[in-house]
Amino acid sequence: MAEIERWLELLEDKGGRITGPRRAIVELMVNSDHALSPVDVFDQARGKYPKMGLVTVYRTLEILSEMGLVERVHQSDGCHMYLRAAQGHEHLLICSCCGKAAYFSGDDLGTLIERISRESGFSVQSHWLQLQGLCQKCQPVKIHPSVS
């Protein structure tokens, strides 16, 4: 996948070095359609780079996040997960069962935001919209929650 090389080149352009651990993490993040916690990334990336340390995962995700290639997803319990960044103005739809994530666009919040600004006197800087639901795979699971 050329996208992996693109990320690594951007990293290099920034003066960073391309190393085994970083390559493994980038490969994972480029390809995953699930939001992943640092520990998820650690576990999965160890398959490709067994000496991987958890600290390196944190540091690399931080860098990718600063570069705008990856974004932090906020969980209701306060933990963070990471996901390939949106392209342009997109919002997130996340499966509350398995963490599968999809971006969507076409929210029309402009009118609402304008009204709220006018009524409240706030100058609105940004908005945060996220939908929670069940993906196709997980819908049957939750309908019969007797699985536990």
Partner DNA sequence: CTATCTGCAAACCGTTTGCAGCGTT
Partner DNA sequence: AACGCTGCAAACGGTTTGCAGATAG
Residues that bind a copy of itself (CB under 8 A): 72, 74, 76, 78-80, 93, 95-96, 102, 104, 106-109, 112-113, 115-117, 119-136, 139
- Indicate which single residue of 10, 59, 90, 97 sits in contact with DNA (rule: CB under 7 A): 59
Return the residue of 2, 78, 145, 147 that touches DNA, per CB under 7 A: 78
Residues 6+ apart with CB under 8 A from 147: 141
Paired strand residues for 103? 92
- Are 44 and 57 spatial neighbours (Cβ–Cβ below 8 Å)? no
d(CA 32, CA 30): 6
Site for DNA in 39-58 (CB under 7 A): 39, 49, 51-56, 58
Q: Which is nearer to DNA, 21 or 99 (CB)?
A: 21
Q: Name which of 16 and 116 has its Cβ closer to DNA.
A: 16
Rule CB under 7 A: choose which of 21, 28, 69, 73 binds DNA: 21
Q: Between 46 and 72, whose beta carbon lies closer to a copy of itself?
A: 72
Residue 13: both structure tokens together:
């352009």
Largest CA distance in the chain: 56
**Minimum Å distance from CB 67 to DNA?**
12
CA distance 59 to 77: 22
Helices marked H in 32-98 — which ranges? 38-45, 54-66
Binding residues for DNA, rule: CB under 7 A, are 12, 15-22, 37-39, 49, 51-56, 58-60, 62, 78-80
